[in-house]
């Protein structure tokens, strides 16, 4: 049997055998339970995979391999998210056609994934740009349309002037295009939307039952952004008319604004109101205003137009705005408060108008301070707030008095949802939720408005004015009325053309391809195709369903197969997809559920996010004339350049492994120099799955040495191996050594089984290493003539190889074959543990004196309390006991002895 880890000599052989025998083809046997393990749908970038990307593929592979060995039918597929901007931009840059380019990139991914031994069923692989896949993406589009969930609307969109496309809100980061960094502009064009807002509450509710990281659930909750509040109307008046009680001269017909507040309890503290610059009332106000005022408002609107919502709501203290010249009437006390136009209020949220309460809202206070608006406290500050503002020699009462007299001196404002109302007329004294309820009911009783739930979630903008995407299956007739393309004409295929660069006028390149563009409607008259394509997030919102039935020509998928395989049991990928993909896929699943096509409401039962792989990367300080970009601390240098520079001038930092940082280690390099199994073991072992890891060559070399040690031990023990050990092992009289060996084996199996299920791969590998050392020690004295010991060794050898198999499958198969065992470890049964045998004979019990650890004792696991107490009086412990009288002894069997002494 091979006794050294020389990967160059055997790893490729095993990969070839696995491929020849089609080992990883999905097993579908009705009697078995199922396990669906899935990695996020990757976009196959031209740079190929790095060992950083392997950080999610390897662990998913480990759990899937264990599940197969445990007897599950396992679905472990892989495919490619091929449509979309990154592929199109890359194809334009490299002057290739994206359809051909993306397949060559996908092939490279496949080779790399095969190289590290990932057990995908490639027979199910597809690209989202394959017509027989996107046919069904189009079919689902139609389903959404028919259910009133897809609509076209003229909308102001975020427009990237460089990519020449509209962007979803999520693709705008800090006012810049997320892909190319160009400042985003606003532009109004007809756009397709999916009505995800109809599902806001369900998307929120169903999060509770998912086994997902809390942080991701939180991000989804915030993104959906449910808030409960009250919407009500306020009269708008000209100030000079303030005498006649109810009969104000109003602003034309639009004499009202409707505001949304989550804090109706603070209504008596309203000292001004604000409308967004885009609010329709602003047009009326301008019309009636004097020329100078109208011009001032107009200029402010123009300025606001250039800013993205993110800039407008960025948390800085400066709040711009202009006074409108008119006033709003507070229905609670009749006060006329100035109405401002300010961009910190967004038109797209609530009603685009607010009542402002500067005493209790930071943004409103910031605005009030810079525009000289009064501040009226209506919530009684709590002790904590008063204590923060306490001055020498003053008590809380006095601080409170000062607060009420000079609230602007107290910054930041007092904010609390549970405070008692003051200065609020007959409502003073009410507290928190009750106050909101009472005032909300009062608003409803006066028919001024109603209680209202708002969501921050916006409808999903799906149109892209680009070539490389799934065509939208819609045709317009001469009147520009739209009809859906009938099912028998799907897919609407993307025409193969050489030139598909975006046009400067923003229209899709498809609109220039007249052969494709011109078609007929269902009644045979002239028609024109929709030229927008769907953004990539549509394609990735259902691919996990297609994997269960990838070549079905009749349906998107067979519902029976969905019922069998879904939900995904374990979905593995990066945390950066917290909202977009994971929310959209949940939405589509619910729509399909409502249409009776799938029996589950949620696609991904369990979600796990892997940590990043960081690499040590050289930087240097800028030289004369060089400047650093925003947020940069140094200038990146290549590894080559770093060699020629003075080491003292370099600053090595841990940064995410990526092509742009020049710090990538490819799987090819790692496998070539260290071996695939060493790479796998290292990535699993080096840190908990969710944590970032720092790539190290020594670390991976350590795994090379470990695997050699393990192979040596197995080769040493192989001569004692008896494949028939299961028949006899329980019939021999155990020896001390055989008992210890079996305890070591069974506790390893127990630990590994649980750790892999928990995604605790690092402790799976570290326990394995520890158990190997123990096995090595125990077998030094083993007596092969003793049947019990021979059986225990045989059991151990078999179990160790199989427990290692998910992590280091090449090595395991090499040893397995060396033992003379048939087939591949992949189809061997995962070893079972006996909890009785796994239990340690001895335990280490801490001994405390007055709660302080003073010593530990090795005791039999089943020692009695008396035995424990007696053993605990060790030479180290006794001196502490003699310092006083032992009043009490607390013994927790197997866990702890504590002496109480005084």
Report the interface residues with ligand ANZ, using CB under 6 A.
227, 260-263, 266, 345-346, 349-350, 352, 354-355, 357, 360-361, 454
Nearer to ligand ANZ, 355 or 704 (CB): 355
Nearer to ligand ANZ, 330 or 794 (CB): 330
In whole angstroms, how close is the CB of 386 to ligand ANZ at the nearest point? 18
Residue 172 pairs in a beta bridge with 177
- Dist CA 120 CA 792 (whole Å): 35
Look at the block and give the residue holding tokens 């750790």. Answer: 755
For 374, the token pair is: 């009064």
- Dist CA 75 CA 73 (whole Å): 7
Residue 218: Cβ within 10 Å count: 13
Nearer to ligand ANZ, 45 or 169 (CB): 169
Residue 135 pairs in a beta bridge with none
Nearer to ligand ANZ, 103 or 310 (CB): 310
Query: Vertex 894, ends 892 and 897: CA angle to 5°?
Result: 45
Of 469, 534, 536, 550, nearest to 78 by C-alpha is 550
In whole angstroms, how close is the CB of 229 to ligand ANZ at the nearest point? 6
For 465, the token pair is: 């004015």
In whole angstroms, how close is the CB of 454 to ligand ANZ at the nearest point? 6
Nearer to ligand ANZ, 260 or 327 (CB): 260
DSSP 537-590: HHHTTSHHHHTTSTT-SSSSS-HHHHHHHPSBSEEEE-GGGTTHHHHHHHHHHH
In whole angstroms, how close is the CB of 362 to ligand ANZ at the nearest point? 9
- Are 162 and 180 spatial neighbours (Cβ–Cβ below 8 Å)? yes
In whole angstroms, how close is the CB of 403 to ligand ANZ at the nearest point? 16
In whole angstroms, how close is the CB of 858 to ligand ANZ at the nearest point? 59
For 692, the token pair is: 């970032």
Nearer to ligand ANZ, 579 or 860 (CB): 579
Nearer to ligand ANZ, 39 or 231 (CB): 231
In whole angstroms, how close is the CB of 421 to ligand ANZ at the nearest point? 12
Nearer to ligand ANZ, 297 or 375 (CB): 375
Nearer to ligand ANZ, 79 or 352 (CB): 352
Of 385, 390, 374, 370, nearest to 337 by C-alpha is 374
In whole angstroms, how close is the CB of 353 to ligand ANZ at the nearest point? 7
Q: Write down the number of H helices and E strands in the chain.
A: 31, 32
For 814, the token pair is: 């090499």
In whole angstroms, how close is the CB of 280 to ligand ANZ at the nearest point? 14
Nearer to ligand ANZ, 113 or 443 (CB): 443
676-685 and 809-818 helices cross at what angle (nearest 10)? 120
Cα→Cα distances 844→813, 863, 868, 871, 875, Å: 37, 12, 11, 12, 17
Task: Tell me phi and psi for residue 653, to 5 degrees.
Answer: -130, 150
- Dist CA 41 CA 25 (whole Å): 19
Of 794, 825, 831, 795, nearest to 811 by C-alpha is 825
- Are 454 and 260 spatial neighbours (Cβ–Cβ below 8 Å)? yes
Nearer to ligand ANZ, 346 or 881 (CB): 346
Nearer to ligand ANZ, 423 or 552 (CB): 423
Helix (H, G, I), strand (E, B) or coil at 168: coil
In whole angstroms, how close is the CB of 354 to ligand ANZ at the nearest point? 4
In whole angstroms, how close is the CB of 855 to ligand ANZ at the nearest point? 57
Nearer to ligand ANZ, 7 or 358 (CB): 358
Q: Say which residues have a Cβ less than 8 Å from residue 128's Cβ, sequence separation at least 6.
A: 41, 79, 80, 81, 82, 83, 134, 137, 470, 536, 539, 540, 543
Please, which contacts does 776-782 make with residues 24 or more away whose CB atoms are closer than 8 Å? 776/709, 776/713, 778/737, 778/740, 778/741, 778/744, 779/713, 779/716, 779/717, 779/741, 781/737, 782/720, 782/737, 782/741
Of 879, 890, 885, 882, nearest to 848 by C-alpha is 890
Furthest CA-CA distance within the chain: 112
Nearer to ligand ANZ, 227 or 396 (CB): 227
Nearer to ligand ANZ, 273 or 803 (CB): 273
In whole angstroms, how close is the CB of 671 to ligand ANZ at the nearest point? 51
Query: Vertex 344, ends 343 and 349: CA angle to 5°?
Result: 100
Nearer to ligand ANZ, 135 or 360 (CB): 360
Q: Report the first-to-last Cα separation within the chain, whole angstroms.
A: 64
In whole angstroms, how close is the CB of 307 to ligand ANZ at the nearest point? 13
Q: Say which residues have a Cβ less than 8 Å from residue 61's Cβ, sequence separation at least 6.
A: 76, 117, 118, 119, 806
**Residue count of the chain:** 902
In whole angstroms, how close is the CB of 704 to ligand ANZ at the nearest point? 54
- Are 528 and 66 spatial neighbours (Cβ–Cβ below 8 Å)? no
In whole angstroms, how close is the CB of 256 to ligand ANZ at the nearest point? 16
In whole angstroms, how close is the CB of 357 to ligand ANZ at the nearest point? 4
Look at the block and give the residue holding tokens 């001994």. Answer: 847
Of 527, 532, 533, nearest to 482 by C-alpha is 527
Nearer to ligand ANZ, 61 or 364 (CB): 364
- Dist CA 875 CA 859 (whole Å): 16
In whole angstroms, how close is the CB of 324 to ligand ANZ at the nearest point? 16
DSSP 271-293: -EEEE-TT-THHHHHHHHS-HHH
Residue 323 pairs in a beta bridge with 340
Nearer to ligand ANZ, 227 or 521 (CB): 227
In whole angstroms, how close is the CB of 204 to ligand ANZ at the nearest point? 14
């Amino acid at each position: 049997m091979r006794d050294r880890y020389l990967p160059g000599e055997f790893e490729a052989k095993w990969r070839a055998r696995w491929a020849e025998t089609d080992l990883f083809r999905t097993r579908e046997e009705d009697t078995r339970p199922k396990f669906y393990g899935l990695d996020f749908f990757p976009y196959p970038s031209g740079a190929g995979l790095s060992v950083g990307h392997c950080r999610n593929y390897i662990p998913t592979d480990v759990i899937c391999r264990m599940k197969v060995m445990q007897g599950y039918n396992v679905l472990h597929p892989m495919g490619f998210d091929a449509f979309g901007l990154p592929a199109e931009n890359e194809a334009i840059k490299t002057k290739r056609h994206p359809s051909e380019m993306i397949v060559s990139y996908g092939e490279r991914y496949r080779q790399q994934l095969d190289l590290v031994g990932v057990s995908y069923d490639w027979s199910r692989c597809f690209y989202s740009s394959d017509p027989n896949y996107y046919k069904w993406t189009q079919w689902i589009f139609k389903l959404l349309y028919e259910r009133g969930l897809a609509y076209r609307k003229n909308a102001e969109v975020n427009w990237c002037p460089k990519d020449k496309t509209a962007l979803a809100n999520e693709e705008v980061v800090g006012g810049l295009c997320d892909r190319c960094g160009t400042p985003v502009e606003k532009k109004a064009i007809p756009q397709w939307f999916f009505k995800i807002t109809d599902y806001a509450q369900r998307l929120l509710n169903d999060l509770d039952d998912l086994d997902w990281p809390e942080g991701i659930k939180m991000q989804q909750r915030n993104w959906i952004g449910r808030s409960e509040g009250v919407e009500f109307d306020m009269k708008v008046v000209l100030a000079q008319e303030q005498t006649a009680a109810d009969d104000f001269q109003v602003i034309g017909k639009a004499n009202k604004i409707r505001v949304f507040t989550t804090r109706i309890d603070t209504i008596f503290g309203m000292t001004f109101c604000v409308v967004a610059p885009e609010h329709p009332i602003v047009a009326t106000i301008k019309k009636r205003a004097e020329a100078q005022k109208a011009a001032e408002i107009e200029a402010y609107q123009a300025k606001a137009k250039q800013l993205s919502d993110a800039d407008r709501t960025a948390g800085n203290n400066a709040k711009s705005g202009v006074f409108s010249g008119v006033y709003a009437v507070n229905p609670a006390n009749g006060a006329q408060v100035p109405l401002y136009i300010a961009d910190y209020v967004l038109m797209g949220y609530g009603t685009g108008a607010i009542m402002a309460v500067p005493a209790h809202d930071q943004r409103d206070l910031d605005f009030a301070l810079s525009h000289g608006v009064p501040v009226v406290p209506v919530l009684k500050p709590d002790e904590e707030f008063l204590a923060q503002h306490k001055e020498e020699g003053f008590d809380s009462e006095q601080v409170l008095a000062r607060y009420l007299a000079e609230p602007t001196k107290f910054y930041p404002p007092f904010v609390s949802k549970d405070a008692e109302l003051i200065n609020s007329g007959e409502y003073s004294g009410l507290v928190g939720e009750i106050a909101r309820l009472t005032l909300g009911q009062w608003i409803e009783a006066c028919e001024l408005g109603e209680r209202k739930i708002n969501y921050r979630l916006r409808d999903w903008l799906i149109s892209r004015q680009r070539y490389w995407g799934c065509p939208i299956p819609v045709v317009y007739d001469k009147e520009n009325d739209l009809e859906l393309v009938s099912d028998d004409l799907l897919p609407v295929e993307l025409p193969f053309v050489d030139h598909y660069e975006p046009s400067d006028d923003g229209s899709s390149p498809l609109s220039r391809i007249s052969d494709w563009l011109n078609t007929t409607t269902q009644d045979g008259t002239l028609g024109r195709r929709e030229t927008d394509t769907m953004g990539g997030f549509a394609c990735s919102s259902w691919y996990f369903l297609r994997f269960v039935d990838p070549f079905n020509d009749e349906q998107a998928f067979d519902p029976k197969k969905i019922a069998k395989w879904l939900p995904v049991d374990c979905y593995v990928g990066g945390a950066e997809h917290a909202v977009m993909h994971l929310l959209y896929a949940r939405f589509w699943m619910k729509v399909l559920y409502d249409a009776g096509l799938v029996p589950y409401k949620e696609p991904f039962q369990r979600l796990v996010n892997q940590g990043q792989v960081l690499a040590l990367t050289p930087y240097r300080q800028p030289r004369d004339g060089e400047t650093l970009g925003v947020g940069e601390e140094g200038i990146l240098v290549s590894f080559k350049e770093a060699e020629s520079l003075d080491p003292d001038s370099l600053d090595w930092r841990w940064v995410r492994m990526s092509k742009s940082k020049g710090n990538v280690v490819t799987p090819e390099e790692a496998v070539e120099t260290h071996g695939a199994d060493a790479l796998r073991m290292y990535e699993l072992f080096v840190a908990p799955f969710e944590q970032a890891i720092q790539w190290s060559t020594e670390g991976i070399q350590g795994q090379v040495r470990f695997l050699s040690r393990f192979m040596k031990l197995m080769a040493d023990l192989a001569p004692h191996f008896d494949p028939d050990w299961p028949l006899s092992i329980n019939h021999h009289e155990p020896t001390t050594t055989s008992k210890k060996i079996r305890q070591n084996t069974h506790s390893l199996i127990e630990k590994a089984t649980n750790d892999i299920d928990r995604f605790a791969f690092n402790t799976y590998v570290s326990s394995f290493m520890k158990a190997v050392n123990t096995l090595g020690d125990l077998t030094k004295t083993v007596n092969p003539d003793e049947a019990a010991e021979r059986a225990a060794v045989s059991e151990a050898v078999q179990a160790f190889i199989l427990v290692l198999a998910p992590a280091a499958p090449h090595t395991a198969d090499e040893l397995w074959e060396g033992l003379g065992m048939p087939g591949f470890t992949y189809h061997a049964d995962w070893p079972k543990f006996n909890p009785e045998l796994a239990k340690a004979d001895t335990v280490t019990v801490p001994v405390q004196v007055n709660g302080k650890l003073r010593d530990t004792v090795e005791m039999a696991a089943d020692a009695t309390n008396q035995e424990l107490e007696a053993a605990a009086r060790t030479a180290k412990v006794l001196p502490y006991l003699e310092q006083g009288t032992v009043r009490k002894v607390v013994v927790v069997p197997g866990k702890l002895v504590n002496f109480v002494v005084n």
